[in-house]
Amino acid sequence: MQLNEAVDHYGRVIHLLNNKMWSDPATEKPKLDTIEIWHLVNNFAFPHPIHLHLVHFEILGRKVFTPEDFDEDGNYIFKMENLTPPLEYETGPKDVVRAEPGQVTSIVMHFKDHAGDYVWHCHILEHEDNDMMRPMVVVKDE
């Protein structure tokens, strides 16, 4: 999950998640009763508080990333080594995590209770109001 900067059609800087606008179709579609690990790659020089609706998660840890941490398609390659564990007050169930600048923050969550349409977003009001918010669909297997 990339936290990116882009420019809109008026030349204004906007902050995005996975280089997608709010109006783009959902790309995060976890299945009900599955466990997912997300890696929040903060490409900014400042932190972003990332909030997920519906689900609580636990912070696995953070690490500074380098270009070698990504495959040829730009996908993050998760490795436990050099992972800084969460701070003491960050342990336990959360619904907001501080994605530190220049770091990957890894979180794990169980989509166990509710199928349907939800969102995940930056919790800075000016960012979430300007497309740093994405739809997420929890899919029930039929």
Mapped onto helix, strand or coil, the DSSP state of residue 54 is coil
Q: How many independent structural domains does the chain possess?
A: 1
Q: Is the dihedral of CA 43, 49, 115, 58 positive or negative?
A: positive
Print the domain residue range for 6.
Answer: 2-138
For 40, phi then psi, to 5°, come to -90, 105
Distance CA 21, CA 132 (A): 7
At 66-88, the pLDDT tens digits run 999 999 998 899 888 889 999 99
Give Cβ neighbours of residue 140 (< 8 Å, ≥ 6 apart).
Answer: 31, 32, 115
Q: What is the pLDDT of residue 82?
A: 84
Tell me, what CATH number does 66's domain have?
Answer: 2.60.40.420
Q: What is the pLDDT of residue 142?
A: 65
Residue 38: its H or E element:
strand 34-42
As separate numbers, helices (DSSP H) first and strands (DSSP E) second, the chain gives 1, 9
Q: Is the dihedral of CA 19, 76, 49, 51 positive or negative?
A: positive
Q: Could you read off the pLDDT tens digit of each residue along the chain, which spans 142 residues?
A: 999 999 988 998 899 999 999 999 999 999 999 999 999 999 999 999 999 999 999 999 999 999 999 999 988 998 888 899 999 999 999 999 999 999 999 999 999 988 999 999 999 998 888 889 999 999 998 6
Please answer whether residues 115 and 55 qualify as being in contact, where contact means their C-beta atoms are separated by less than 8 angstroms: no
Gyration radius of the chain's alpha carbons: 15
Report in angstroms the alpha-carbon separations of 102 from 47, 50, 67, 78, 131.
Answer: 9, 15, 11, 15, 21
